[in-house]
């Protein structure tokens, strides 16, 4: 690895002492890595620009992430930049690396800002990192004009400024203004207080509903077994294949198996259902919709 020998404590200090590369030396190192996979050249190139990565990482400390983690992410972005850099394009490596370093840090910050995914599109990232700055500028400009913007006007102006839908601004405002809380935390300061998770409505089937449904299904099963007992073997076969399978068979496939025409199978099916309806009518009218 290009950063072997560094650790969280020594990395910033050694980065500040690293050499400054001129354009020609930088180009030679880039060619050596791209064309010959020279790891010494890669190590030298990355070490020289670690101060750039650390400087960019420090600008994101206000988002609450540990500085060591930000530096590690910046280092990953720097290594990605070195791996993808094309020295033939005539661009300095530092200019190219800035984008990769920034993207790596931003992805890390957004992944760790909240347990709820904050956003992944480029417009959402732009909104996440620029909304507060844009809002402050708009407030200053409004104050200079002697105006006072309400929250709805402010959100609309931010949406236009950043180029995102209004609902994205409203969603991001909620993300940035709140924090994640454990559902296991108590609702009061008392140790025996009820946890927030206990206040959530259980959307699953309740015990009473489960017992009632089980009883109804048992009754229905008995009624159907009794009704089918009046059918002959061929009629039972047709009913099972047409109504009691996960994927009902077609009249044509049953006709081919039984050596009958499709119309004849349909007639036998209708006759079987009529027999079952008469049987069910003597037991309960509540299940007539099952064969409707």
Q: What is the DSSP string of 162-182?
A: HT--HHHHHHHHHHHH-----
Token couple for 156: 């609309």
Please, is 126 exposed, middle or buried when counting C-beta atoms within 10 Å of its C-beta (0-12, 13-18, 19+)? middle
**pLDDT confidence tier of residue 16, bands split at 50, 70 and 90:** confident
DSSP 189: S
Mean pLDDT score of the chain: 80
For the stretch 233-287, pLDDT in tens is 898 898 888 888 888 889 999 999 889 999 999 999 999 888 888 887 776 555 5
**Cβ atoms of residues 81 and 93 within 8 Å:** yes
Residue with tokens 């206040």: 199
Residue 79 to residue 50: CA distance in whole angstroms: 10
How many angstroms from the chain centroid is the CA of residue 22?
44
Q: What is the pLDDT of residue 182?
A: 52
Question: What is the three-class DSSP state of 260?
Answer: coil
For the cut 50, the answer to whether the pLDDT of residue 5 exceeds it is no
Q: Residue 34, Cα to own-chain centre: how many angstroms?
A: 35
């Amino acid at each position: 690895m290009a950063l072997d020998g560094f650790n969280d404590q020594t990395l910033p200090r050694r980065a500040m002492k690293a050499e400054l590369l001129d354009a020609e030396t930088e180009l030679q190192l880039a060619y050596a890595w791209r064309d010959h996979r020279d790891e010494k050249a890669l190590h030298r190139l990355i070490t020289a620009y670690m101060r750039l990565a650390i400087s960019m990482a420090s600008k994101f400390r206000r988002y609450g992430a540990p500085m060591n983690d930000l530096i590690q992410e910046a280092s990953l972005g720097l290594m990605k930049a070195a791996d993808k850099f094309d020295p033939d394009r005539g661009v300095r490596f530092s200019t190219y690396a800035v984008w990769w370093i920034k993207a790596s840090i931003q992805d890390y910050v957004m992944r760790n800002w909240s347990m709820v995914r904050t956003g992944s599109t480029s417009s959402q990232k732009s909104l996440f990192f620029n909304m507060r700055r844009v809002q402050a500028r708009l407030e200053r400009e409004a104050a200079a004009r002697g105006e006072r913007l309400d929250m709805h006007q402010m959100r609309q102006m931010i949406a236009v400024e950043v180029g995102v839908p209004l609902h994205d601004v409203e969603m991001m405002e909620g993300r940035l203004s709140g924090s994640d809380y454990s559902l296991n935390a108590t609702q009061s300061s008392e140790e025996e207080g009820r946890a927030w998770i206990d206040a959530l409505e259980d959307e699953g089937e309740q015990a009473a509903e489960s017992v009632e449904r089980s009883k109804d299904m048992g009754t229905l099963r008995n009624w159907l077994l009794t009704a089918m007992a009046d059918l002959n073997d061929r009629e039972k076969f047709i009913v099972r294949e047409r109504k009691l399978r996960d994927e009902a068979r077609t009249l044509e496939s049953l006709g081919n198996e039984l050596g009958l025409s499709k119309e004849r199978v349909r007639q036998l099916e209708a006759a079987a259902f009529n027999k079952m309806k008469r049987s069910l009518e003597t037991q309960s009218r509540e299940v007539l919709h099952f064969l409707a």
